Structure 1
């Protein structure tokens, strides 16, 4: 009697077939939720990593601006005029700008440490070749190599900062990076200018090239590009199994499709070029030949430009780290002040403005470099970390394209407005040549006003990437 109920109950223990609409049984575990990624730590270790990376950027700025205090010496050494002299800086800036997207892709793929090491090698090789060049063509090629190395530094340092510091602190760290670069510019205007006239061309530029050995060792031995245990960005190069990597074209298209990236490019373009063109090449000839200043006096004003740049960098960094709403007011104020300042200088009767006005325009141009970094802030806020290097490279092209256009335009106009075969340029020639500044200034301002609306619409309709 007891066996039959057990045998009859056996079929009841077999589960009936379920329909496809029936929910999964509770015994099947749900997919695991990935652990939350810890935010960048900041702190002393972060500042140490940033300091090592920024030492390469300081070295790059010394190399980049070395021609600014050696322009007259280069014209004499290579027997060239204004147009050919401007070709040095134009080619260097052209190479720098052209390398920004490739460098951004390299940083996203191989990491900033490897890119910095390769950049130091190119910087040192280019400057060493420039030190021993005695004719125009080899010197020009050496500046192109130097421009390649220079292009690999700034984006790499920003990428290190993005992985070591919390997002709210990144605008301030970016401004500090630019401020540190101005320290390299200060070395150029104070130390290099004096060494060039005491020691001569070859010993001075050779000594700068050899600085790269110490910086290379520092980066190779001590730089950590990310905190321990930090996840690699998607597409990063790793040893062993190949990580999934987005295509190069797709990476660039995605970065460019963000209105914030394009706005950042035009902000960088419009705000950086006036001070950059003045400090890289035309500042010293303008002050010495057009305004009749001594080399020492002109060097003092170029030093003031660097100090003003550092001061504005610290100020803008503090403001932007507290509120992102200050971005566009800073940009438009700097553009307006630069345009009005140069209008007063160029319209002054006789082409010889008073000393106080020259000091004033130098102080205004000191805000150009720090304001250009706001463009990188726009790109960083609207792009995910895996394409941050690419987006930063696109933005960083802007100011150097504007600088290249300005250097070339001023050089051509100076030659056109001066007597054939003349080795010097009059104050009137400089005044009309410097009117070229308003061409890229007007074009860039129009693009900023157009794109700011698109960015505002995107920010209202979509959240910022994590």
Structure 2
């Protein structure tokens, strides 16, 4: 028996120190991926100068990276379900390291775009693989906390970007900074190949049936995952909660704080750091709350959306040219909650799908936030060019996507809750017949 009187099923792995060590290698791979993904957030102004491009062209870097990332989510989910986490993670490290090296030596806009696309492809293979590792090495009841901790460590990669890469870029320049950071990819690749295992001994998944291959199986796997209301609800929760902070950290936060709010780059960098620190703190709180009170998932997600919309509205509608520093600090603290809130989406999809479909379902959920981020990055860039760098109008696009996402969440919540209750009843009946 385990905490709360819940029966530990035979297929439920025990966790422990070895699980933490193996899973930690996967999280390290994700940490490096986040560092590379967010490195452009502190180099946006430098990139515009280096490649002689305007706001729309600058936003294309992140849009293309996220387009590749979002487009890869379902294929990666299928690969993880089919091949396991280790092989997919290894391929991801090779791709994102090559992309970071290519970006370091790019002196033309086209080459730089190709490098960011390659980076996005490798990055796309990391998080779903880490979620699968967590599911294979830890008991299911630890799922929400394990996912939040993985996201928290990933945000530490963002912290490296805002604190370390920004200073290195100023001191050593473009090529040395980006090429040096790419060495982290080689380090985690060695650890992965030597020590990472897909599952603990005695908990290997059943062999994949021969019929579980080919186009028919792929279509059925995707269709079955999508058919679950919990998968779709998870995708829309991820869509609605993640993108405001992602857009702010990935590209437009620094230009907004410097050009629209009149802050120095140092002060703007400190506020970006505040977003990351808030994310890490809130992630621990959200993970604990959801692990103990499953019904808190939707209130936390919708509450985060409401707080984000309110702070953005106050900042953009402030009567003077520059919003007060206290308001900007509050905005950054609330933006820090967006990442942990987006992780709640996986907590809706996880109980809705069987283990052999977890990767595919996670891929569908993960598409949500990155699709919204990509759309907003493009909208902000176009509106900035069209309005002569009017950030108030450009960032108003945030409210359009939040309204769309909230509408879909409210539409799906009842169906997802009813389906989850049905699955819970079935699992309890099956657990009664499992020997202690």
Partner of 1:343: 313
Instruction: Tell whether 2:56 aligns with 1:83.
Output: yes
Distance 1:402 1:381 in 2: 24
**Aligned equivalent of 2:249, options 254, 276, 279:** 279
Instruction: Tell whether 2:324 aligns with 1:329.
Output: no
Give the total of aligned pairs.
Answer: 417
1:454–1:356 CA distance, 2 compared to 1 (3 A): same
Distance 1:233 1:403 in 2: 37
Partner of 1:262: 232
How far residue 465 of structure 1 moved from its aligned partner, in angstroms, is 7.4
Distance 2:73 2:158 in 1: 21
Distance 2:232 2:425 in 1: 16
Backbone CA RMSD of aligned residues: 1.3
Distance 2:425 2:40 in 1: 41
Partner of 2:163: 190
Distance 1:342 1:65 in 2: 22
SS state of the match for residue 295, structure 2? Answer: helix
**Aligned equivalent of 2:218, options 243, 248, 253:** 248
1:465–1:248 CA distance, 2 compared to 1 (3 A): farther
Instruction: Tell whether 2:183 aligns with 1:222.
Output: no
1:464–1:200 CA distance, 2 compared to 1 (3 A): farther
Structure 2 runs not aligned, ≥5 long: 1-8, 428-436
Structure 1 runs not aligned, ≥5 long: 1-35, 237-241, 419-424
**Aligned equivalent of 2:19, options 46, 56, 65:** 46
**Aligned equivalent of 2:276, options 306, 317, 324:** 306
Distance 1:70 1:368 in 2: 23
Partner of 1:143: 116
Partner of 1:431: 392
Partner of 2:431: none
SS state of the match for residue 350, structure 2? Answer: helix
Q: How is 1:411-422 mapped onto 2 (pairs within 5 angstroms)?
A: 411-418=381-388
- Report the TM-score when normalising by structure 1: 0.88
Distance 2:230 2:139 in 1: 20
Instruction: Tell whether 2:421 aligns with 1:451.
Output: no
Partner of 2:88: 115
How far residue 457 of structure 1 moved from its aligned partner, in angstroms, is 2.3
Structure whose alpha-carbon radius of gyration is higher: 1
- Report the TM-score when normalising by structure 2: 0.94
How far residue 229 of structure 1 moved from its aligned partner, in angstroms, is 1.6
User: Deviation string for 1:198-220 (max 9, x for gaps)?
Assistant: 00000111011121111100000
Distance 2:421 2:200 in 1: 33
